[in-house]
Amino acid sequence: MSGIAIMTSGGDAAGMNPAVRAAVEHASNLGMKPYVVYDGLEGLIDGKIQEATRELTQDMMFRGGTLLRSSRSKRFFDHAFRKQAYDHLKAKGINKLIIMGGDGSFRALNDFFNDFQVPFAGIPATIDNDIAGTDYCLGVDTAQNMILNCIDSIRDTAQSHQRAFVVETMGRDCGYLAMTTAICSGADICIVPEIPYDLESVSKRLSARKQQGGCVIAVVAEGTKVAQYLTRWLEERMGMDTRLTVLGHLQRGGSPTARDRMMATRFATRAVDALCEGRNNQIMVYRDGSHGHTSLDAVVGQKYSVNQDILALSRELSC
């Protein structure tokens, strides 16, 4: 019986647990023997591998984060430790891997394949939504809804006191989360790495709002590193009582939304199918409304670009 192991790597993202559950169920239905790896690449090195049962995965559908836990492993760059990981897999008869994560995770398993010919399938999972080749990554919808809930709550107190609030979102160097939540929350300002901003133009646009006693909501991507500056600018230039809210890791948590549960299930079942069909080292993708898979080279090292329509709508909030 062919063995297949499922693991999570890098930053946690809502949808990872439903994807683990779906992969285990589908692999079992196809006559494979599924395993799970705890603690990501570190766990692979240390042999933290357990046979997956329905009892193990039955409560995963509604749980956020990753119950398999995760890690970022420097040891995996060392061939000796990769050999140790391979020996653990070989001892259990595991000859296929599914990994959820980002570029770094996919690169690591590609090195592993080059060493020991253990094929893998990758599932894009990061709230940053910055993986090339796919329009969607697991965890994004849940993170967006967490951010929107926070902004909606902040707006209540902002309106009550005629204040300005600057809300900093995660996303590293990608402004996707900030752009989409700024648009969906009706924010007044959006500052992201992808779009040049003009605060003088913003000042003119919002001057009437201030005179009428309204509030101002600004959404800023962490990659711009201007959240504190914008807070001071709104205080000094606009003369508004201003507060900064850094959402931080709050955005990673929470029970996965219906969309993330569905996307997780579809990504995971297709990953199992791809490996069964001999399509090795493929990354599962969602593009233009359709699921598919693409080569590692089309994903790793390529630059992700935000949809032009989203950029256009966000540009109106940046000037």
Active site residues: 128
Strand pairing report for 3-8 and 94-101: parallel
Q: Which amino acid is at 144?
A: Q
CB-neighbour burial class of residue 49 (10 A; exposed 0-12, middle 13-18, buried 19+): buried
CB-neighbour burial class of residue 100 (10 A; exposed 0-12, middle 13-18, buried 19+): buried
List CB contacts of 191: < 8 A, sequence separation 6 or more: 178, 197, 218, 219, 220, 221, 224, 226, 230, 318
